[in-house]
Amino acid sequence: MAVSTFAEPIPAATLVVFRDCPTGPAELLIVERARAMTFAGGALVFPGGRIDPEDFSLGQIHAPADVHGPARIAAIRETIEEAGIPVGLSPLPTPAQLAALREGLHAGEPFGALLHAHGLTINFTALVPFARWCPQHPNMRIFDTSFFLAALPAGSPVPVVDQTENTRVFWASAQHVLDDADAGKVSIIFPTRRNLERLALHNSFADAVDDAGRHEFRMVTPWTESRDGIDYLCIPDDLGYPVSAEPMTRAMRG
């Protein structure tokens, strides 16, 4: 009989970039994962990825007192790699600098060296801690992911997909993505759905930041619970999520 085992969680970071709209709810930066990817293949997600060893090293050098430092660096780096959006850098890089940063990152060059070469520094306060998720799946890779909020810097370029891990990048409101998922037009994974539902409650970056400040930054690990003979997938009900329990058959719909 096979024994289910849980892998050591992989530290990761995700960035929710807001583009406020004067006539409606804010739009969020969304990427579509390539279908060939092992994790969340074909799904819509926020830019993000693993926290690399260099991210930890840079965090110790530039923000040793910031427990979120390495995750913030990873979120900034991944958003440049995946969408070409320079959040959290000071000053805002020129188009030529941004192109060189992205090309260097795609070539595997150290992020710290690239920043130094172009006279750029990291603005750690530009990223606001929002949520931390660590779903546990037996016999699968487990990601311990920190989610951050950030406003799109003025003068930022149009996002450009990397055409490697992702196949599409676009702006959309949280509710629009949820509506498309419910209509079967797109796929989203469970943590993305719950976070989109929470984000859809807020029309602006400032509103979302206020919500983040009113709730504890505590790890969310969904669990299964039987209610009247029906299995529900549950998360804590005190972290600002409007849906904290859903029948398993619906929660796994994608």
Whether 233 maps to a domain, the answer reads no
Cis peptide before 91 (omega within 30 of 0): yes
3-state secondary structure 185-252: CCCCCHHHHHHHHHHCCCCCHHHHHHHHHCCCCCEECCEEEEECCEEEEECCCCCCCCCCEEEHHHHC
pLDDT at 134 (0 to 100): 95
pLDDT at 42 (0 to 100): 80
Q: Model confidence at 116, in pLDDT bands (50, 70, 90)?
A: very high
pLDDT at 3 (0 to 100): 44
Burial class for 58, CB neighbours closer than 10 Å (0-12, 13-18, 19+): buried
| Domain CATH number, residue 44 | 3.90.79.10
Whether 2 maps to a domain, the answer reads no
Whether 168 maps to a domain, the answer reads yes
Q: Model confidence at 1, in pLDDT bands (50, 70, 90)?
A: very low
Whether 3 maps to a domain, the answer reads no
Strand partners, 168: 32
Average pLDDT over residues 226-233: 92
More confident residue, 180 or 251: 180
pLDDT at 191 (0 to 100): 94
Whether 242 maps to a domain, the answer reads no
Domain tally for the chain? 1
Alpha-carbon span 208 to 204, nearest angstrom: 6
More confident residue, 132 or 4: 132
Domain residue limits at 153: 10-219
Q: Which residue, 105, 101, 103, is CA-closest to 92?
A: 101
Average pLDDT over residues 160-179: 92
Alpha-carbon span 14 to 48, nearest angstrom: 4
Whether 234 maps to a domain, the answer reads no
Q: What is the pLDDT of residues 195-207, one digit of tens each?
A: 999 999 999 999 9
Alpha-carbon span 28 to 97, nearest angstrom: 24
Give yes or no for a contact between 188 and 254, defined as CB atoms under 8 angstroms apart.
Answer: yes
Task: Give the rounded percent of residues in the chain with a pLDDT score beyond 90.
Answer: 83
pLDDT at 33 (0 to 100): 87
Q: Model confidence at 208, in pLDDT bands (50, 70, 90)?
A: very high
Whether 177 maps to a domain, the answer reads yes
Whether 224 maps to a domain, the answer reads no
- Considering only 2-11, 23-32, 179-188, 209-218, which range has the smallest mean pLDDT? 2-11
Give me 206's structure tokens.
């400032």
Q: What is the pLDDT of residues 118-142, one digit of tens each?
A: 999 999 999 999 999 999 876 568 8
pLDDT at 18 (0 to 100): 98
DSSP states along 58-95: HHHHH-TT-TTHHHHHHHHHHHHHHH---TTEESPPPH
